[in-house]
Structure 1
Amino acid sequence: MEIFLGSILGLLFAAIVFYAFRYFQNKKLTRQQSVILIDKVKRVCKFITVEGDFAEIYHYEDVKQKFLNMITSRKKALVVINAKAHIGFDLKKVHMEADTKNKRVIMRSFPNPEVLSIDTTINYYDKRDGYFNKFAASDLSDLQIEAKKHIQDKIPESGLFDVAKGEALEAISLIQTMVETIGWTLDFSALKIETPKPEELNEDRSDS
């Protein structure tokens, strides 16, 4: 009888150990999944939703005075800037929490659209050197920087940020797809997403 009870207790203890091991193993796996998932989202990093083309004419002029300001030397150029601006979302700034118990990712906040990159092509016309004031390689590098800043200053008034806000759901949909690949769900009910009216969206796109 004692042997029988000992066997039962032994089996019961083994069962408890087995289920406890499975429970903590699954919990560890779930935590690993959440870490891997958030790491995946961070690796995507930047998500471009809108492109805008810009063409600007920029007049460059630099004046230097020599010999006790008695002689003026002027260099100038007509600069044509063609640029493509990429607007989108930096997914590293997404605030997410993992609910491991329910295999759910909760999105607490989503970043505003920003300028991700600007590609510029610059052509120089009517470039004239001054006698004592000639164009150097450093001048052309400075012009590149100045041209990019000039385009960046134009972007807020172009309406591209408003169009990008309307595409926020597309970026969230990308994250949702990644979440669902490991059997989790994405909860973004806490977000307030402003979606522009169709006519406003069309106006912005036609302007850009």
Structure 2
Amino acid sequence: MDNIFDTILGLVLGAIGMYWLFNFFKGKKSKEITTHQSTVLLEKMKSVCKLISVEGEFAEIYKYENVKDFMSLVSSKKKALVVIKAKAHIGYDLSKILMHADEGKKTIILDNFPQPEVLSIEPELEFYDIKSGFFNFFAPDDLTKLNAEAK
């Protein structure tokens, strides 16, 4: 009788243990939590009077390589490939025009019309093939410098 009781108790405790283990590992699935936060700050607003007459689209491939030698024994290379696509706006800054009115003839006379100039450049960078060496790796400030050089 004692042996049957021990067997039943073992089965019940085993079932409870298996249920607990199943629920424990079921809840251990890998979870990925991503949060994004963005705040737009207005730095400056000013009135402009510009006329864009030409818009050009450009593309450039910028290749970056850096090799460091350690104790003249081992060299380590890091490299990146950056594709730069940019829009350039060329036109006139109309705030440089001198205007005066001839009331008798009812006309407005424009003097000192400016030469066309580059008004803005809007670059868009895409990084490809970023590879760090064993002793020479990319730090966040390296990518910031690379971004500035490419622009």
- Range class of TM-score, shorter chain: 0.5 to 0.7
Secondary structure at the counterpart of residue 54 of structure 1:
strand
2:59 pairs with 1:55: yes
Choose between structure 1 and 2: higher helix proportion.
1
- Counterparts in 2 of 1:75 and 1:46: CA distance versus 1, 3 Å: same
Deviations 1:97-131 (A, max 9, x none): 43576465432212111111111221121111122
Matches of 1:104 and 1:44, distance apart in 2: 24
TM-superposed deviation, 1:52: 1.0
Structure 1 counterpart of 2:68: 64
Matches of 1:114 and 1:142, distance apart in 2: 27
Deviations 1:150-188 (A, max 9, x none): xxxxxxxxxxxxxxxxxxxxxxxxxxxxxxxxxxxxxxx
Choose between structure 1 and 2: higher strand proportion.
2
CA RMSD for the aligned pairs? 2.5
Matches of 2:120 and 2:79, distance apart in 1: 28
TM-superposed deviation, 1:70: 4.0
Matches of 1:123 and 1:61, distance apart in 2: 16
Matches of 1:136 and 1:46, distance apart in 2: 40
Where structure 1 has 5 or more consecutive residues not aligned to the other structure, the ranges are 1-41, 149-208
Matches of 1:64 and 1:93, distance apart in 2: 51
> What TM-score comes out, normalization by structure 1 length?
0.43
Structure 1 counterpart of 2:36: none
Deviations 1:64-110 (A, max 9, x none): 3333x44322211111111111111122222x143576465432212
Question: Residue 140 of structure 2 aligns to which amino acid in structure 1?
Answer: A
Structure 1 counterpart of 2:100: 98
2:147 pairs with 1:144: yes
Where structure 2 has 5 or more consecutive residues not aligned to the other structure, the ranges are 1-45
Question: Residue 65 of structure 2 aligns to which amino acid in structure 1?
Answer: E
- Counterparts in 2 of 1:72 and 1:84: CA distance versus 1, 3 Å: same
Structure 1 counterpart of 2:86: 83
Matches of 2:86 and 2:54, distance apart in 1: 14
> What TM-score comes out, normalization by structure 2 length?
0.57
What are the equivalent positions in structure 2 for 1:150-161 lying under 5 Å apart?
A: none
- Counterparts in 2 of 1:43 and 1:126: CA distance versus 1, 3 Å: closer
2:47 pairs with 1:46: no
Equivalenced residue count is 105
Moved >3 Å (runs of 4+): 99-106
Matches of 1:107 and 1:66, distance apart in 2: 66
TM-superposed deviation, 1:137: 2.2
Is the contact between residue 62 and residue 81 of structure 2 (CA under 8 Å) also seen in structure 1?
yes
Question: Residue 98 of structure 1 aligns to which amino acid in structure 2?
Answer: H
Question: Residue 136 of structure 2 aligns to which amino acid in structure 1?
Answer: N
Secondary structure at the counterpart of residue 144 of structure 1:
helix
Report percent identity of matched pairs. Answer: 54
Matches of 2:50 and 2:148, distance apart in 1: 23
Matches of 2:147 and 2:99, distance apart in 1: 42
